[in-house]
Structure 1
Amino acid sequence: MLKYILKRIFRSFITLFAVTTIVFMLMRLMPEEGYFGDSYDKLDEIQREAILEGMGLRDPMHIQLIHFYKGLIKGDLGTSITYRPKVPVTEILAKKIPYSLWLGLSSILIAIIFGLWMGISMAQHKDRLMDGVGTFYIVFIRAVPSAVYYLFLQLYLTSWLKLPILFDVDEKASFFLPLLSMSLVSLAGYAMWMRRYMVDELNKDYIRLAKAKGLRQKEIMFKHVMRNAFVPMAQYLPTSILFAISGSLYIESLYSIPGIGSLLVESIQRQDNPLVQALVLIYAAISIFGLLMGDVLMAFFDPRIKFETQGGGR
């Protein structure tokens, strides 16, 4: 078990290193105007070159990369150019990350709780009303572009339920719509997969044997079916995290939430290259961490994984 987890952690670090290096090199291919902000047209060619040399952007690529990793180890992600000129990127992120972290984790928790409940209810009432309603919800969420129902929720629920249309940290009611919007896609995913795996388990021979022995339906459902059906659900965690990340980019802008999702959009628009680079790396790290957690959870929940004979592979 320990060897398996350590291998996964090592692979995650290698992947993160590769992604970080690629992002760094791609950012160096961006137009140089992004390093000057509004002052680009006010400077002549000699002044621009002097500034770029002072920033180390005229050094060979491998030297720039070494300096970047030295700063990264020390927690230095550079300074903002246009968003908040000359302010360290870490200082900007320290004020933004708590909002995105709270929103993302809360939405995932809501999706897990209600998604699993919906999937279990649909499996228990297969081909009945609850199953039909749940199936309609899943198909709707999967088929309709997310921006459509995000805007619908913001335009109509704010008037129907008398909720604030924009986020306000001092008004708790303004948390409801962003959380609801963020959890919709992952909730549908958990419900769909939980129903599928539970229905598969209900058709297996050991369930028929349990029924023949006279075990109660509730005991069969909770002690056997749910326990085995939950094992592959651990693999859906990375997807849930990725949905939370992609959703936050739009939802934070839609509701004016001062998190890193809206910050990424604004920093791209302002061509603040150091800030964009730092945010892309953060999102990459979160995604890789989600994949790692999915592997680790599978290792704990699935007894069929053979660590020694398969060398940690699946």
Structure 2
Amino acid sequence: MLKYAAKRLIQSLVTLVIIITIVFSLLRLMPVEGYFQNFDKLDKNQIHAALLSMGLLDPLPVQLKNFFVQLLHGSLGNSLIYRPNVPVLDIIADKAPVSIFMGLASMAIALLLGLPLGTAMARSKAKFWDKFGTAFIVFVTAVPAAVYYLLIQVYFTDWLGLPILFSESDPVSWILPTVSLSLGNIAYYAMWLRRYMVDELNKDYIRLARAKGVDSKTIMKKHVFRNAFVPMVQYLPTSLLYTIAGSIYIESLYSVPGMGGLLVNVIQRQDNNMVQALVLIYSAIGIVGLLFGDILMNLMDPRISFEKKGGAR
């Protein structure tokens, strides 16, 4: 497992370097306005001098090398427009706690609701819970998230008397954005758990257990759910991607002062250094999530080997 983890870690680092290179290069093709707070008030000589001082007139390979050196020293540069001359990491440090707490809370809600829903769907095939769960999954996956996020904000604030905008000092205002953020993962967990449990229910060892007189609850709890949960574990860290993607819109919709809303803001204001740093962080989270998914699955069931071709159990 250590050999596999080391191999995957190297692959993840290579992938991250490729993403950074692509994003860095694309941003250098953007108009230079993204590097100035008051571009309209500057003449050509001032713009040229500023670009020269920032190293933006150097050849692209030289700029890329300087950025990686800066990155290895733990710096992502300074904000240019959003908060001029303030280190990017300081800005992110102010925003990250809100996003992290809301993301973890939404994933906890998704686990508490998605796993029981998936289990109920598998146990009652073609009955109420299976039909209800299927309808929910189809709705969440087929309807654009922006649509049902907006519907939740418009109608549930009125029906439940909840605040329409987020406030750090008001815990009640956390409810709608956190629940909205969890919907995608609830459907995701329910869908995959149902699939794996149905697969387990059709296996020979389950038929043998039933023939021996083992009661249904014991079969579902000790055999079906346990074995079905093992392959699903690898998707838990991956679901961070759903949370990240949702938080970008949710935080803007509810005015949450987190990293998702920050990304939208800096893109709109063309603060290239901030955009570059946030894309790097989000990419790193997604890549690390994929790596930890495999590691968690191996910890849940040591019989799983990723080092053999095709894996083995």
**Structure 2 length as normaliser, TM-score?**
0.95
Deviation at 1:211, TM superposition (A): 0.5
User: 2-side partners of 1:139 and 1:80: how far apart?
Assistant: 42
Q: Which residue pairs with 2:183 in the alignment?
A: 184
Deviation at 1:313, TM superposition (A): 9.8
Q: Which residue pairs with 2:26 in the alignment?
A: 26
Secondary structure of 1:166's aligned partner = coil
Deviation at 1:44, TM superposition (A): 1.5
Runs of 4+ in 1 over 3 A off after TM superposition: 301-314
User: 2-side partners of 1:52 and 1:65: how far apart?
Assistant: 15
| Residue identity in the other structure for 1:76 | S
Deviation at 1:154, TM superposition (A): 0.8
Conserved? CA contact 1:141–1:185, under 8 Å: yes
Conserved? CA contact 1:4–1:311, under 8 Å: no
Deviation at 1:207, TM superposition (A): 0.3
Alignment of 1:1-314 (within 5 A): 1-37=1-37, 39-302=38-301, 305-310=304-309
Deviation string, structure 1 residues 80-120 (Cα, Å, up to 9, x no partner)? 11111121111111100111111112211211221111000
Secondary structure of 2:9's aligned partner = helix
Deviates more, 1:64-73 or 1:95-104: 64-73
Conserved? CA contact 1:182–1:247, under 8 Å: yes
User: 2-side partners of 1:309 and 1:238: how far apart?
Assistant: 23
Deviation at 1:236, TM superposition (A): 2.1
Conserved? CA contact 2:303–2:312, under 8 Å: no
User: 2-side partners of 1:98 and 1:307: how far apart?
Assistant: 35
User: 2-side partners of 1:313 and 1:30: how far apart?
Assistant: 48
Aligned residues: 313
Conserved? CA contact 2:55–2:63, under 8 Å: yes
Secondary structure of 2:58's aligned partner = coil
Deviation at 1:301, TM superposition (A): 3.2
* Long gaps (5+) in structure 2: none
Conserved? CA contact 2:95–2:257, under 8 Å: yes
User: 1-side partners of 2:204 and 2:310: how far apart?
Assistant: 31
User: 2-side partners of 1:237 and 1:222: how far apart?
Assistant: 20
User: 1-side partners of 2:285 and 2:123: how far apart?
Assistant: 35
| Residue identity in the other structure for 1:5 | A
User: 2-side partners of 1:313 and 1:31: how far apart?
Assistant: 52
Secondary structure of 1:310's aligned partner = coil
Deviation at 1:268, TM superposition (A): 0.7
| Residue identity in the other structure for 1:56 | G
**Structure 1 length as normaliser, TM-score?**
0.95
Conserved? CA contact 2:9–2:291, under 8 Å: yes
Secondary structure of 1:70's aligned partner = helix
User: 2-side partners of 1:311 and 1:123: how far apart?
Assistant: 27
User: 1-side partners of 2:3 and 2:202: how far apart?
Assistant: 35
Conserved? CA contact 2:157–2:164, under 8 Å: yes
Q: Classify 1:309/1:243 alpha carbon distance in 2 versus 1 (closer, same or farther; 3 Å).
A: closer
| Residue identity in the other structure for 1:171 | D
User: 2-side partners of 1:28 and 1:306: how far apart?
Assistant: 43
User: 2-side partners of 1:301 and 1:12: how far apart?
Assistant: 22
Q: Classify 1:135/1:311 alpha carbon distance in 2 versus 1 (closer, same or farther; 3 Å).
A: closer
Deviation at 1:303, TM superposition (A): 5.0
* Long gaps (5+) in structure 1: none
Conserved? CA contact 1:96–1:258, under 8 Å: yes
| Residue identity in the other structure for 2:92 | L
User: 1-side partners of 2:311 and 2:119: how far apart?
Assistant: 31
RMSD of aligned C-alpha atoms? 1.8
User: 2-side partners of 1:276 and 1:313: how far apart?
Assistant: 42
| Residue identity in the other structure for 2:109 | I
Conserved? CA contact 1:119–1:191, under 8 Å: yes
- State the percentage of identical aligned residues: 60
